[in-house]
Structure 1
Amino acid sequence: MSITPFQALACPLDGLPLHSNGSAWSCASGHSFDIASQGYTHLLPVQNKRSRDPGDSKEMVAARRRFLTAGFYQPIAAAVNQAVLANLPAHASISCLDAGCGEGYYLRQLAAAVGDEQALALLGLDISKWAVLSAAKQDKRPNWVVGSNANLPVLSGTLDRVLCMFGFPMYAEFARVLKPGGQLLQVDAGPDHLRELREIIYPSLKPERTAEMQTPEGFSRLPTEALRFSLELTRAEQIADLLTMTPHLYRANAEGRAQAAALTALSLSVDVRLTCFERGLG
C-alpha cells in the first residue's frame, strides 16, 4: 500500500500549475500560498469567500469527528471504498479527491482499504479551515487544502476519482478535474435518512421529492446503490453530536432542539444513496 499526497494543484487565482518548495506552493505568476505547520494549505482567495469563516464551525467539526470515529457510519465508508477500488488491477495507481472532506474520515477509511500493491494519491478539500485543520492533524499522508468546490484548485484532467459525501456537487468542476473515464461517487441522504430524529425535532416532515437524479452533462450514469442500516445511540452526547454535525441543528426551532437535547437514547434509520457517474471520453 502506497498513500501519497496528490500533487497536481492549480493556482486558485489564475489556474496555473502550483509547485511546492516544502514550505509553500507557488505558480509561475508569483502567487504563493504557505503550507501551514499542521500540513495543510489555504487555497481559498478572500474574494471567493461568502463569509469571514465559511463552512462548518469548530464545534461542528469536533462533533463530526467524535461521531464518525465511533464507527456509526462505517458501512457507508465501506460501500464507498468498494466503489472506488472496484475492478482496479492489483498494481493500480489512482488519484482521488474528497470534495468537501470534512475532518477526513472517509479518506482515512479509503487509505486503510487500499491493497498492498496499490498506490493512491489523495487530496482532501473543504471550505472550512477547521475541518481541514482537523484532517491534517489526524493523517499527514494526503494533501489537505482549504478551497471551494466551485473553483477547485486542481489541474484539469488529473483525477481518477472524486468523492462528494453529503456535499454540494459542482458537476462542471468535477467533470473538468476528472480524467476521461474517471468516476464521481456521490453520497446523498435518502427519504428515510435519520427519520426518527427528524420526526422529533420538526413539527411535521415535508413530503420527500421522488424525482430521479438527473445525469449531469459530461457524465454517464452507473448503477445506484441504496444503503440502509440501523443505528442505536445510547448516550445523550452521541445524539447531540449527530445533531450538531447535520444541517438540522440550524433548521430546527428552539423547541425541536430542546426535545432532542432531552433524549438519552435513540434508534435511527440510515438511508443513503451511492450514485456513480463516469466522465465521458470526449
Structure 2
Amino acid sequence: MMKNNNYIYMCPTCGLNLKKHEKQFMCDNNHNFDLSKNGYINLLMVNQKKTKNPGDNKEMVKSRSNFLDKGYYKQFSDKLNTIISENLCDEDLNILDSGCGDGYFVANLKEKLLKENRNKNIEFYGLDISKFAAAYASKRDKEINFIVGSNFNLPIMSNSLNCIIRNFAPGSNDEFYRTLKKSGKLIIITPGIDHLYGLKEKLYNIPRKHDEKEFAYEGLKLIFKDEIKYSIDIDNSEDINNLILMTPYYWSIKEDMREEVEKIQHLKTDLNFTVSIYEKL
C-alpha cells in the first residue's frame, strides 16, 4: 500500500475530482482544500453542519481512544477483520471506514490485510464528521487517508469504493450505493440484542434489550450475516466512564445518575454485534 495522487475525493462545492497539489487538494474549478497539520483533509461544508463542531468533542474522542486501546473491543475487531478479509477478493481496493472515530478499527484492518501479503494495492480511507476524531485518527496511523465529512453527503467520487464499513454510524444508503463500485461491499455493524446490557442494568431502572432489525436496501443484496458475542469485565471506574462516554446513553441519563455511575468500580457486560454484508448489484 502507498499513498498516491489517484485520490477519490470529490469536491464538496462542485462535485469534480480533487487532485493533490503539494499540501492541498484542488479541482478543475480551482476550489481548494488544505491538508491539516495532522494530515487529514476537511471536506465538510458549513451547510452540512448543525453545530459549529459536529460529532464527538475532544473529551469524547479521547475517552473512546483510551478505552479501545485497553483491548476490550479487540476480539470484536479481530473477528470483524477476518470476516471482511474473507469477503474481499479484488487485488486493488479502496476501503472506507465511514464514521471511523479515532481510527482504531480501520488501523487494525489495515494491519491485518497487509500482513496477509495479498491485496497489496489497497488505499484505506477513514471519514468522520468530528474534526477532533480525524485529528486523533491521523495521529494513530499516518498512512491512512482521513477525512472530515458527512456520511449523508460523502465527499467521494461515484463508483470508486470496493468496500464501505459502517460501524454503528448513521448515514445515507443512497450515498453508500452511489460511491460503491459494482459488486462492492457495504459492511454494516449494528448492536445485537444483548449489546452492553450489563451497562444498561447499571444506568436504567427498566433496562431494555436492543431490537433485532432486518434491513433491505434497494440495489444491494444481502450476502452474509453473522453475530459476534462475548463478555468483558471492567474493574476500574475510569474505563467504565470512558465506555459510557462512547455510547448514546451518556446523553440520556440524568445528572444525578452520572454522579452515581462515576462511582462504579466493576462492570461485567456482554458485547454483542450483528455483522451484515451487502453487495451492490
Aligned to 1:61: 61
8 Å Cα contact 1:63/1:242 also seen in 2: yes
Output the amino acid matched with 1:100. G
Equivalent residue for 1:195, pick from 194, 197, 200? 197
Of all paired residues, the percent bearing the same amino acid is: 31
The structural deviation recorded for 1:135 is 0.4
Output the amino acid matched with 1:102. G
SS at match of 1:102: coil
8 Å Cα contact 1:97/1:124 also seen in 2: yes
Q: Distance in 2 between matches of 1:52 and 1:88?
A: 38
Aligned to 1:44: 44
After TM superposition, list the pairs within 5 Å mapping 1:165-244 onto structure 2. Answer: 165-206=167-208, 208-210=210-212, 212-244=213-245
Q: Distance in 2 between matches of 1:143 and 1:43?
A: 12
Aligned to 1:252: 253
8 Å Cα contact 2:195/2:210 also seen in 1: no
Name structure 2 gaps, 5 residues minimum. none
8 Å Cα contact 1:4/1:122 also seen in 2: no
The structural deviation recorded for 1:243 is 0.5
Aligned to 2:269: 268
Output the amino acid matched with 1:74. K
Q: Distance in 2 between matches of 1:57 and 1:176?
A: 29
SS at match of 2:216: coil
Are 2:7 and 1:20 aligned? no
Aligned to 1:143: 145
Q: Distance in 1 between matches of 2:87 and 2:95?
A: 16
Output the amino acid matched with 1:43. L
Q: TM-score, normalised by structure 2?
A: 0.94
Output the amino acid matched with 2:192. G
- Spell out, residue by residue over 1:140-193, the C-alpha distance to the aligned partner (whole angstroms, 9 max, x if none): 101111000011010000111000111103211001101010101111111211
The structural deviation recorded for 1:4 is 3.9
SS at match of 1:111: helix
Q: Distance in 1 between matches of 2:250 and 2:241?
A: 9
Aligned to 1:98: 97
Aligned to 2:112: 113
Q: TM-score, normalised by structure 1?
A: 0.94
Aligned length: 277
**Residues 118, 208 of structure 1: CA spacing in aligned structure 2 closer, same or farther, 3 A cutoff?**
closer
The structural deviation recorded for 1:207 is 5.9
- Spell out, residue by residue over 1:93-135, the C-alpha distance to the aligned partner (whole angstroms, 9 max, x if none): 2110000000000111001101224222111100000000000
**Residues 155, 256 of structure 1: CA spacing in aligned structure 2 closer, same or farther, 3 A cutoff?**
same
